[in-house]
Amino acid sequence: MVPSIKAIIRSVLPNVRFGSGLPLAVKAVYEGGIRIKVSLPGVEPWAFLDQEILDPRYGEADRKRRLRERVRLGVLRVLEEAYSLAPRPWGLLMGVRPTKMVHSMLDRGFSQSELRKVLANVYAAAPEKIELLLTVAAQQRSFFHPNPNQPVSVYVGIPFCPTRCSYCSFASYPLASHGHLFDGFFEVLCQEIKAVGGLLKELKIDVEAIYLGGGTPTTVQGKKLVKLLSLVRQYLTTPATKEMTVEAGRPDTLSGATLSILQEFGTDRISINPQTMQERTLQVIGRGHGIEEIKRAYRLARTIGIPLINTDIILGLPGESVSDVEDTLRQIEALRPDSLTVHGLAVKRASRLKKEEAEVQIAQETGAEMAFLAAEYAAKWGMDPYYLYRQRHTLADLENVGYSLPGSQSIYNVQMMEERQTIIALGGGGITKLVSPDLSLVRHINPKCPATYSQRIRAGLGAKIGQIRDHFLV
Ligand code: SF4
């Protein structure tokens, strides 16, 4: 069976075993459009003739894709009927970046109302998800440039954290157990910044946005932080640079001294991420800080003059109810963030929470209620959704949404998510994406582990530089 059909079956029947049970029959022909018939014993067959795909704005590749989508929709519909399943809010949109498809259709001149029909009829997305997608896409269009390689954006990954949160599946190594790798990692990172930044300067490539992420970049402190930001300023910043973000993340790394250094080096945005404002949950997920530290870091950052502060929260954390989420949002309201990123909890293999999965299930309706509440609060604060992505293994099939006050959107988040701009990534776990004018892309992945990173970059920096150079010179 084709993998995409298996995937859709698994998404609604996670425990399905293929090769046994009821025979699923699919008939697809290209005749005056795409004719599909999907049958499963015991339920009405699903049949459809898609003539919309004959629109001349679609090409051959679209028609092939549409054929697969129609089959998947038919399979979904007969399974819903056979097993009395509630329709899924995201329908067939199972990928990480559902906005990409919307942008591709907007590029070809499809109108909002045409898109609404396609999203509902082809992808079976629920009306609220369609409106979210269209709002996000409309917010993003002005960030796109005609040339994906001029300007570019740069990511710098620092894969260390004070402790490891139980839900974490990112490049993150606790300082207590991996601190001995820090100096070696830092030295190689400096070499990588100099070499890659030097190449960008040589080729006169503008850098639009710089993002220091991780991990927790503010685990780099004092003289080392000054050195890091000096190198970023010297090698990566260009006159075209509009934004520098430091994902401060953990408030327990934010002293007045650290925030002052960030401010001095022109940091435009930081993220202070409580994830929740429930003291008990912070302990359960191993954040290693309390609510007071979040408030203290916020006050300090405002006093020191960091222009924009983003805040991340996670919906579906262990033991949290809708009223806990509401209380968190009320407390965040008092902090007056410039942007809010709302994540659905993703229980991934690499996280400690995976082992306790039974305790972290929430019902679809509860998840939807939490997401609705977060959207309501963001709207009340004057924020609009401006970027969106989905992850596998997210509780209640929730999406991740970035909301922002007008003019406070993170340029980097849009560019990184939509993959219409080359992203040069340095440091641990950084994924370089070299985007071509036809929007195809080639990835280069730096190892997450600080020891492997140091070893590989020492040995392979020349090859990485060569790959980036070739890309720009083609
Ligand atoms: S602060 Fe972020 S990167 Fe670090 S352990 Fe927690 S979730 Fe992972």
Tell me which range, 22-26, 27-31, 259-263, is most confidently predicted by mean pLDDT. Answer: 259-263
Sheet holding 152-158, edge to edge: 384-389, 400-404, 339-344, 308-315, 269-272, 243-249, 207-214, 152-158, 423-427, 431-435, 441-445
Q: Whole-angstrom Cα distance, residue 178 to residue 369?
A: 40
Mutating to test ligand 1, I would choose from 220, 250, 283, 348 the residue with most ligand atoms within 8 A of its C-beta, which is 250
pLDDT at 16: 83
Distance 168 CA to ligand 1 centre (A): 6
Does 408 contact ligand 1 (Cβ within 6 A)?
no
Structure tokens at 219: 């685990």
Structure tokens at 341: 């990123």
Helix (H) or strand (E) holding 110: none
Q: Whole-angstrom Cα distance, residue 267 to residue 32?
A: 57
Distance 271 CA to ligand 1 centre (A): 12
Atom of ligand 1 nearest to the CA of 249: 1
Structure tokens at 131: 């409106």
Q: Assess whether pLDDT exceeds 60 at residue 17.
A: yes
List alpha helices for 212-290, DSSP H.
222-231, 256-264, 279-284
Does 215 contact ligand 1 (Cβ within 6 A)?
yes
SS (H, E, C) 169-206: CCCCEEHHHHHHHHHHHHHHHHHHHHHHHHHHHHCCCC
Tens digit of each residue's pLDDT (9 = 90 or more) over 230-284 = 999 999 999 999 999 999 989 999 999 999 999 999 999 999 999 999 999 999 9
Place of tokens 């993002």: 211
Angle at 235 (CA atoms; ends 157, 231), nearest 5 degrees: 65
Task: Yes or no: say if 223 and 390 are a contact pair by the CB < 8 Å rule.
Answer: no
Atom of ligand 1 nearest to the CA of 214: 3
Tens digit of each residue's pLDDT (9 = 90 or more) over 129-181 = 999 999 999 999 999 999 999 999 999 999 999 999 888 888 789 999 999 99
209, 201, 208, 196: which is closest to 244 by C-alpha? 209
pTM, whole model, 2 decimals? 0.93
pLDDT at 359: 57
Q: Which residue has the higher pLDDT, 326 or 11?
A: 326
Tens digit of each residue's pLDDT (9 = 90 or more) over 363-415 = 778 989 999 999 999 999 999 999 999 987 788 788 999 999 999 999 999 99
Distance 176 CA to ligand 1 centre (A): 14
Tell me which residue has its CA closest to atom 5 in ligand 1.
164
* DSSP type of residue 397: G
Does 274 contact ligand 1 (Cβ within 6 A)?
no
Does 186 contact ligand 1 (Cβ within 6 A)?
no
Q: Which residue has the higher pLDDT, 435 or 352?
A: 435
| CB half-sphere exposure, 8, CA atoms < 13 A | 25
